[in-house]
Amino acid sequence: MKTIFRNFRLIDSTQDTVGTVLVTDCGTIGAVITDTQAKLPDVYRIFDGGGRLVLSPAFVDMHTHLRDPGFPEKETLESAALAAAAGGFGTLVCMANTKPVIDNLALAQLLKQRSDVLGIIDLYPAMALTHALEGQELSGITESLPDTIRLLSEDGKDIYDDALFLAALQAASRADKMVSCHCEAGGESAAVARAITLGKKAGCRIHIAHVSTQAAVATIRREKSKPDARLSCEISPHHCALTQKDARKLGAETFGLVAPPLRTEDDRRAIKEGLCDGTINVIATDHAPHTSSDKEAGSPGFTGLETAFAVCNTVLVRENHISPQKLSDSMSAEPARLLGFSDRGRLASGLYADLVVLDPEQQRTVNPALFYSRGKNTPFAGRTWYGVVLLTMHRGRIVYES
Ligand SMILES: [Zn+2]
């Protein structure tokens, strides 16, 4: 179905201008028009942004925990896809810590096929580095892994054995896949340095997941300034917005528990500075849905897909740390680029019509009862943020409307 978004504030990594976007019936962006006098074609469906509402490329999340297969009480592929659409996301990379663990291509392909049938988002499973995430022997990393696998990760766990970690990174390098590293063992900064050192030795692209400390930001900044750096990293919305004070209020060992933990105000400032100066590439949710009883029992993580934009828009854009374009870059263009997608992440003719309509000025109070995600474990319940997702389009089809 042909659609036209007329008179929107078009924001992506390269522009912030009022204009019009045409969507073709094949689900791609047909044209981006910034000439307000341009004659527009007859179309079936028209949305008018009143010159105020924002049209951006849908978000790309490099770090989601789907819990499917294996933990339907926490989340299913279906509930996660709906939550993603409600949060403005078009593409997710999901982590391998399911039951069974996604440690081979067949399981990854099955999950992707199930997601493709739903047609709500585009899913790319990350494959584990070791068999069953046990840290004992390598998983099914082969040189011929197809593009279904964009990322390899042992997320949630560090591989303690240096020789095995190096072997995993060498296998990833031969397969030309990036590795996302959860770095906590021995302290975040030391673990980051270790991943970078072994990554260099293996000739492997390293992506540091959920950077949360001042020291780790400094280490990454130093490493990225070197000419041969093949290094990227992400931060999470909750580390941008919250500190250990919030964790204590929520229950440091229960509802405020996340890995890596919420840190100090200095750490929070450092990751925001890292985002501003380009040290940090990407904002990723680390969406980690849990049941209430699992949180009571100390399961780490927060549900995050449905609050990511509002939280980042409020604490990063409205508090003048970054521009709206930079936020779009961190949530869409840059993760798309790192994952090797040239077909999404910006507003440009020929790309997929994976789009999101946003009202950055509208305030809304977080009510987890209204989440599509089965995980109601948000640290933001009852808090009010600026920014509402009004509509999400996936491949030219509306998959969410508020
Ligand atoms: Zn992690």
Is 286 one of the catalytic residues?
yes
Domain of residue 396, CATH code: 2.30.40.10
Q: Last residue of some domain: 305, 338, 371?
A: 338
Total H helices, total E strands in the chain: 12, 16
| CA 207/CA 202 separation, integer angstroms | 14
Tell me, yes or no, whether 89 and 26 share the same domain: no
Tell me, yes or no, whether 111 and 206 share the same domain: yes
Tell me, yes or no, whether 163 and 67 share the same domain: yes
**Cα of 250 to ligand 1 centre, how many Å?**
20
pLDDT classification of 302: cutoffs 50, 70, 90: very high
**Cα of 258 to ligand 1 centre, how many Å?**
9
Is 191 within a domain? yes
Is residue 193 scored above 90 in pLDDT?
yes
Question: What is the domain count for the chain?
Answer: 2
The predicted structure's pLDDT at residue 156: 86
**Cα of 192 to ligand 1 centre, how many Å?**
12
Tell me, yes or no, whether 72 and 178 share the same domain: yes
**Cα of 16 to ligand 1 centre, how many Å?**
33
pLDDT classification of 101: cutoffs 50, 70, 90: very high
Tell me, yes or no, whether 259 and 371 share the same domain: no
Tell me, yes or no, whether 141 and 242 share the same domain: yes
Is residue 367 scored above 80 in pLDDT?
yes
Instruction: Read off the DSSP letter of residue 368.
Output: G
CA quadruple 272, 274, 278, 281: dihedral sign:
negative
* Residue ranges in 203-333 assigned as alpha helix (H): 214-224, 237-241, 244-250, 265-276, 292-296, 308-312, 324-328
Is residue 208 scored above 90 in pLDDT?
yes
Tell me, yes or no, whether 316 and 269 share the same domain: yes
Which range marks the domain in which residue 263 is found?
59-338
pLDDT digits (tens, 9 = 90+) for 11-36: 999 999 999 999 999 999 999 999 87
The predicted structure's pLDDT at residue 40: 80
Tell me, yes or no, whether 209 and 280 share the same domain: yes
Is 345 within a domain? no
Is 128 within a domain? yes
Tell me, yes or no, whether 158 and 226 share the same domain: yes
What percent of the chain lies above the pLDDT cut of 90?
Answer: 94
Domain of residue 293, CATH code: 3.20.20.140
Q: Which two tokens stand for residue 95?
A: 């982590």
Tell me, yes or no, whether 299 and 364 share the same domain: no
Is 280 within a domain? yes
Is 221 within a domain? yes
pTM of the model as a whole: 0.97
Q: Which two tokens stand for residue 308?
A: 């990511």
Per the prediction, the chain carries an average pLDDT of 96
**Cα of 288 to ligand 1 centre, how many Å?**
10
Is 189 within a domain? yes
| CA 59/CA 302 separation, integer angstroms | 19
pLDDT digits (tens, 9 = 90+) for 40-81: 877 789 999 999 999 999 999 999 999 999 999 999 999 999
pLDDT classification of 37: cutoffs 50, 70, 90: confident
Is 346 within a domain? no
Tell me, yes or no, whether 30 and 64 share the same domain: no
Catalytic, out of 286, 294, 329, 359: 286
